Structure 1
Amino acid sequence: MIDWLMEDGRSAAGISALMDAFCDRLIQGGVPLYRAAWQVRMLHPQIRGISFNWRRGRDQVEEIEREHGTELRPEYLNSPIGAIIEGGADAMRYRIEQLEPPYPYAILEDIKAQGGTDYVAMPMRFSTGRLNVATWASNKPGGFSADQLTLIYDVMPALSTVLETMALRRLAVNVLDTYVGREAGSRILSGDIRRGTGETLRAVLWYCDLRGFTSLADRLPLADLIGLLNGYFEIMAGVVQARGGEILKFIGDAMLAIFPLPDGVEPDAKVHDALDAALEAVGQMETRNRELQAWGLPTLKAGIAMHVGDVMYGNIGAPDRLDFTVIGPAVNLVSRIEGLCAELGRPILTSEAFAAVCPPRLTSLGHHPVKGLREQIQVFGPTAMALSEAANLETAGSGAPG
């Protein structure tokens, strides 16, 4: 079993695949296993851990993400998992067929109802000291034999080592996805990490910024300010990601995103996706402002600018502190266009290149000077009909800010 884990097991496609293969190996070795669960703690801004649940006869392992706060719930604290992770309990075994109600843990009653006869929970300790738990259940009369439990117990250190490696890779993916974006994270993990490396790509660019944020920062308590800012970014990032956009960075109260265009693909679909996202964001911001007013909090105004152009996408920065982002004249232009939103009293503005793709939905607002360019540029805004779409969009994400 240990040789298999260290040679073939560690090459499994992921934790679920490892668990499926590992449990099958136990059954081939004569262990009367009918269900197993691994509780693996993760380092993630939203997820405390993941439960991997295996059942004999099922096609695949079930994965259940456990959010932060789970560790405070009675059903977790009053469980073998909680007793081991939070209470430091050692391995525990319950011969269910010999127990009479009331059972010490609710899970034992569930397993009894399924015909289970034996239940074992074992700690899995990673090299960092982080505790995880593996549970094993049998439905054979008499349950597990001493030799079978010894086999599982002796293999646990090797299993924990392989599992930790897989969890760390999953952690790396989660952290990179969260902090640099899915596409950039994928590039970094594939080895694209040298400073100065990158590529030129064509994309729809999105830049949004809050208006009057400086004055809000001066007069609001920090907790209220962070709550407002998170609520605003939740709307903007949500509509962009829902339509295939990539969040590149948050710059104070601004957000830069792109909708990449594959080689040889016309921008039509992505331009319409970006415009739909902007219109939905306006609708959601109006709904959020009504909620903020009801709570006695300041309302928010934002400007969204969009453009189509070529950008350099890659690693930029100091030797020991890099940023995976986009640069180029197109990025500068979209940020300058956003600066006109307040001046023109418009929540959404686009460049001429963007508007050329969907003229029925946009109308010219004339030529205007922008910082850094000698020539004035023509900007466009959604038509009255397009803006009415935003007012009728279904509200999403309601609830107290923060």
Structure 2
Amino acid sequence: MAKLRDAGLPIARFVLSQPTLHPELRAVAYNWTEAKPAIVELRLPHGVETTQIYLSSPTRLIYDGTDMVRRRLEGDEEPSFPILQELKAEGHTDYLARRLVLTRGRSAMMAISTRRRGGFTDGDLAMLDAVLPSLATVLELRMVWNLTSTLLDTYVGHGAGERVLTGQIRRGSVETIPAVVWYCDMRGFTGLSDRLPGPFLIAVLNDFFEALAEPLGAHGGEVLKFIGDAMLAIFRIDERTSEAEACEMALVAAQLAVQGMRRLNRRRAGEAKPPLDFGLALHVGEVMYGNVGAPTRLDFTVTGPAVNLAARLEGMSGQLGRQLVVSSAFAARCPGEFVPLGRFPLKGMAEPQEIFAPA
């Protein structure tokens, strides 16, 4: 904006809007005004396109395919759009919105307004026409980067996505890291899948995973994958997070997940739906973190004995009548009180394992 203003374009307000491919967001807008020159980012959720604010705005016309919307704001005539009425009341004299044509049929929108008497001149518009192709190119590059980051965050997790973006994409590219391993699984899912139609079953899974993943993410955990009705996640131990801190964060998240499932089941009871049950196990140890899979289809995940042990512990939780169990290693390293539930042979484990539960 500074360069355009320095070149003589009398911009008082600038808005750049772009659609985005994001599970929670419909679009992102960037607003600039001469009164507050810092750019403000607005994240617009899905559904914004059905609101009255959007439907009664020039933005809708642009995204419906109109190339340009221009309205003079001087004079006695009342503007037809509410946003233009606000701009006129603030002393703006001219408004211009333009569609930015991107690749693959995509569009973005740029809107500017001025307070200069007489509005924009033909020379102003010619200057704007000259910079629009460059602006569209820069915006497209930013959109591609944001799209890539969003897709990786959504489908492989934030931490794994960052590693992929930095070039860790070779099959077998793994490192051994210390981490808390979280493994949980819904109980009775086979029976549900036999009884419920597909869309209802997916809704159950979404509710189930949301109740678990929300506290996990809020306390530093990273969901790595959903395996049918199971979820695998880690809490990394590094220079910023000690072993005890990671264990404590995982335990707090797990206890909040148990509470979240209770709330979900109260809601389901009010809807005359059966309750959902689950088991969750926490273990701490070293895992192999990186790319595993076929040459053309890789999975960024964790593997190793620590992951196997967490899965086996979760399998025992139902027999022990507990929703949350932890390994002896976790109980020894996590602040808090734990009660021993006994030593049990676990499939694939050379020695019986002692299992604990939070007191």
1:343 is paired with a residue of what secondary structure? coil
359 and 94 in structure 1: CA distance in 2 versus 1, 3 angstrom threshold: closer
Which TM-score applies when normalising by structure 2?
Answer: 0.97
Return the letter of the residue paired with 2:51: R
Q: How far apart, CA to CA, are the structure 1 residues paired with 2:155 and 2:121?
A: 48
The corresponding residue for 1:272 is 248
Q: How far apart, CA to CA, are the structure 2 residues paired with 1:266 and 1:94?
A: 59
The corresponding residue for 1:19 is none
Q: 1:299 aligns with which of 266, 270, 275?
A: 275
Q: How far apart, CA to CA, are the structure 2 residues paired with 1:235 and 1:72?
A: 28
How much identity, in percent, do the aligned residues show? 45
The corresponding residue for 1:100 is 77
Return the letter of the residue paired with 1:91: M
Q: How far apart, CA to CA, are the structure 2 residues paired with 1:63 and 1:282?
A: 35
Please state how far the C-alpha of 1:222 moved relative to its aligned partner.
2.0
Alignment of 1:191 onto 2:167? yes
Range that drifts further, 264-273 or 48-57 = 264-273
Q: How far apart, CA to CA, are the structure 2 residues paired with 1:198 and 1:57?
A: 51
Return the letter of the residue paired with 1:178: T
Output one character per residue of 1:278-334: Cα deviation in whole Å (capped at 9) or x when no partner. 111111111110110110112101111000010110111100000111110000000
Please state how far the C-alpha of 1:206 moved relative to its aligned partner.
0.4
The corresponding residue for 2:357 is 381
Return the letter of the residue paired with 1:82: R
Q: 2:26 aligns with which of 48, 51, 54?
A: 48
Alignment of 1:157 onto 2:147? no
2:74 is paired with a residue of what secondary structure? helix
Structure 2: gaps (5+ residues): none
Structure 1: gaps (5+ residues): 1-22, 384-402
Alignment of 1:342 onto 2:342? no
The corresponding residue for 1:332 is 308
Map 1:250-269 to 2 at 5 A: 250-262=226-238, 266-269=242-245
Q: How far apart, CA to CA, are the structure 1 residues paired with 2:315 and 2:150?
A: 34
Please state how far the C-alpha of 1:235 moved relative to its aligned partner.
1.4
Alignment of 1:314 onto 2:290? yes
Please state how far the C-alpha of 1:337 moved relative to its aligned partner.
0.2
Alignment of 1:249 onto 2:225? yes
Output one character per residue of 1:134-182: Cα deviation in whole Å (capped at 9) or x when no partner. 0000011111111011111221112101110111001100110111011
Q: How far apart, CA to CA, are the structure 2 residues paired with 1:264 and 1:35?
A: 42
Return the letter of the residue paired with 1:366: G
287 and 105 in structure 1: CA distance in 2 versus 1, 3 angstrom threshold: same
Q: How far apart, CA to CA, are the structure 1 residues paired with 2:76 and 2:192?
A: 62
Q: How far apart, CA to CA, are the structure 2 residues paired with 1:142 and 1:224?
A: 59
The corresponding residue for 1:240 is 216
Q: How far apart, CA to CA, are the structure 2 residues paired with 1:298 and 1:65?
A: 37
- Equivalent pair of 2:224/2:232 in contact (CA under 8 Å): yes
1:97 is paired with a residue of what secondary structure? coil
Output one character per residue of 1:159-216: Cα deviation in whole Å (capped at 9) or x when no partner. 1011101110011001101110111111111111111112110001100100001101
Q: 2:344 aligns with which of 345, 368, 387?
A: 368
The corresponding residue for 1:391 is none
The corresponding residue for 1:28 is 6
Please state how far the C-alpha of 1:361 moved relative to its aligned partner.
2.1
2:318 is paired with a residue of what secondary structure? helix
Please state how far the C-alpha of 1:78 moved relative to its aligned partner.
2.2
The corresponding residue for 2:194 is 218
Q: How far apart, CA to CA, are the structure 2 residues paired with 1:246 and 1:59?
A: 36
Alignment of 1:84 onto 2:94? no
- Equivalent pair of 2:95/2:113 in contact (CA under 8 Å): yes
Q: How far apart, CA to CA, are the structure 1 residues paired with 2:336 and 2:130?
A: 69
Return the letter of the residue paired with 2:55: L
The corresponding residue for 1:386 is none
Range that drifts further, 151-160 or 333-342 = 151-160
- Equivalent pair of 2:343/2:355 in contact (CA under 8 Å): yes
Map 1:136-147 to 2 at 5 A: 136-147=112-123
Which TM-score applies when normalising by structure 1?
Answer: 0.87
The corresponding residue for 2:156 is 180
Q: How far apart, CA to CA, are the structure 1 residues paired with 2:130 and 2:175?
A: 50
Return the letter of the residue paired with 2:13: R
Q: How far apart, CA to CA, are the structure 1 residues paired with 2:350 and 2:31?
A: 63
The corresponding residue for 1:281 is 257
146 and 99 in structure 1: CA distance in 2 versus 1, 3 angstrom threshold: farther
376 and 34 in structure 1: CA distance in 2 versus 1, 3 angstrom threshold: same
- Equivalent pair of 2:248/2:335 in contact (CA under 8 Å): no
The corresponding residue for 1:16 is none
- Equivalent pair of 2:244/2:335 in contact (CA under 8 Å): no
Output one character per residue of 1:55-112: Cα deviation in whole Å (capped at 9) or x when no partner. 11425211111111222223212211101102x11212111013512x2211110101
Please state how far the C-alpha of 1:40 moved relative to its aligned partner.
0.4
